[in-house]
Amino acid sequence: MSKFLIVGLGNIGDEYANTRHNIGFTVLDVLAKENSLKFRTDRLADIAEYKFKGKTFVLVKPSTYMNLSGKAVNYWLQAEKIAVENLLVITDDIALPLGSLRMKGKGSDGGHNGLKNIQEVLNTQNYARLRFGVGNEFAKGKQVDFVLGKWKPDEEKLLEPRIKLAIEIIHGFGTIGLQRTMSAYNNK
């Protein structure tokens, strides 16, 4: 199949824009801008679609809020007739240093509510995810404030090249496959 569902996790609303938790949305926004795409609001999500090297990429930003992301993911997998093997979820990860990118073909939710809901709704842990490190520079008990906090100016400078790399990884997933993409990018 040459169609891929690329889901960026985040929360809708201006108060969440440019926060660490919304890095999935941010990656897709940059990707859309680079390809002169406009997201359209549709059922449970904002959607955009484009072709790259003969493959179709359907970009999805769920409008269900993070904790109910699985509902949107499941709906769009079915609506677009895309197999779960062609699903890639982009998410923030506090277990990785700022700007680190880690692609995995399966795994636990790692305490991430968006991934947890996707796994519950899809009834599987076997789907690709691109974990984008946001660091863990927060005091005990301040995790929520940290991930929902805005990027600092010095962090934003570091993000730009890492977002570009995340876009390369998305394209790799669709063109050379999961395993080759992990081999090529997981140590960069």
Q: Which positions are catalytic? A: 21
The dihedrals phi and psi of 47, each to the nearest 5 degrees, come to -125, 145
Distance CA 80, CA 112 (A): 26
Closest to 6 in 3D by CA, of 68, 90, 83: 90
User: Strand 101-104 and strand 87-93: pairing?
Assistant: unpaired
Distance CA 162, CA 126 (A): 25
